[in-house]
Amino acid sequence: MAYRPDAGCYRVRCVATGRQYIGSSLCVKARLADHLKKLRQGASRCNAEMLDDFRKFGEQSFRFEVVRRCAPEARLELEQALLRRAKKLYNGSRTASHRGPKDLKPEVRSAMSRSAKARCTPQWRKVKSLLMKQLRAEGRL
């Protein structure tokens, strides 16, 4: 797999409690923006404990950080090492795992692809861009 400069591990940390969520992604900045968006919306697919703290302590108590960039094939190993060393986690498990597209049936991959393309609208790109600018300006990314 070719090296992607945006692949790596990230952390969403609550300064008030010291708890953190550690993850990895092929595009960490977009993943962090997605976490922030879901927390702001109170999305049901969000980590419930992290969402409770987000509501209790507010957005200003959270830091969205890129921990380290790495090759895509090394990100789960790095995430696992970070999970092993971490204290006070929001993660439900201390095991790094990822169900990539290659693990899914072709018809499921095709449906996911159609769904992702439908979501990639000019309006979404504008919202995502504004979120990223705000995080950078606040020093949280």
Higher pLDDT, 5 or 2: 5
pLDDT of residue 99: 56
Tens of pLDDT, residues 114-135: 766 766 677 777 777 788 788 7
What CA–CA distance (Å, rounded) separates 73 from 64?
23
The two three-digit tokens of residue 110, written as one number: 């095709």
Decide if 111 is inside a domain: yes
Counting Cβ atoms within 10 Å, is residue 74 exposed (0-12), middle (13-18) or buried (19+)? middle
- Count CA atoms within 13 Å of residue 48 on its CB side: 1
- Establish if 3 belongs to a structural domain: no
Q: Is the per-residue pLDDT at 15 higher than 90?
A: yes
Tell me, yes or no, whether 2 lies in a domain.
no
pTM, two decimal places:
0.68
In this structure, what CATH number is given to the domain that contains residue 53?
A: 3.40.1440.10
55 vs 125, higher pLDDT: 55
- Does residue 23 lie within any of the structural domains? yes
Q: What pLDDT, on the 0 to 100 scale, is given for residue 101?
A: 53
Among 25-34, 45-54, 99-108, the minimum mean pLDDT is found in: 99-108
Domain encompassing residue 21: 8-137
Q: Residues 56-76: pLDDT tens digits? A: 999 999 999 999 999 988 998
16 in a structural domain: yes
- CA end-to-end distance (rounded Å), the chain: 27
Number of folded domains that form the chain:
1
Nearest one of 106, 96, 43 to 73, comparing CA atoms: 96
